Amino acid sequence: MHIDETYTAASRPQRWVGCHDPFWPRVSLNGLRDRLALSPEISEARLEVAAHAAVLKAAAAFAQWRRCLRARGIQRLQDLNRHAAGRRLTHCYLRCVTLETRSLLRSSLAMPCGSLAH
């Protein structure tokens, strides 16, 4: 018996991935899946691992922005969303996460068995 595991955006439970630093906004895994037009063959677990790595890489890439904004008293990036520059920075951060997730999903994540430390 075959069970169809194809979900519409409305029927999937909402899941999020975030950075260890609450300055950066959480990223919707459903939103990532939709923006990247991922096939059902990409499991939720694989997407979550790639997205988590992408969030960490994006946070590192935008670390100088965070330091400058924190020095000015800004606690979260979303606090700037009422300003055009803040919305652009949020867009750039989320775009970075999206592109890095795509790159990680396309790359071979398999490790040779001998490369694991015992």
Task: Report in angstroms the alpha-carbon separations of 91 from 11, 74, 85, 98, 113.
Answer: 26, 17, 10, 10, 39
pLDDT score, position 113 = 47
pLDDT score, position 34 = 96
The alpha helices in 1-118, defined as continuous H runs, are: 29-35, 44-61, 63-71, 84-106
Q: Is the pTM of this model over 0.85?
A: no
Over residues 59-70, the pLDDT tens digits come to 999 999 999 999
Answer yes or no: is pLDDT of 84 > 60.
yes
Nearest alpha carbon to residue 88 among 96, 17, 15, 64: 96
Strand partners, 28: 16
Q: How confident is the model at residue 10 (pLDDT cuts 50, 70, 90)?
A: low
Measured over the CA atoms of residue 89, residue 92, residue 94 and residue 96, the dihedral's sign is negative
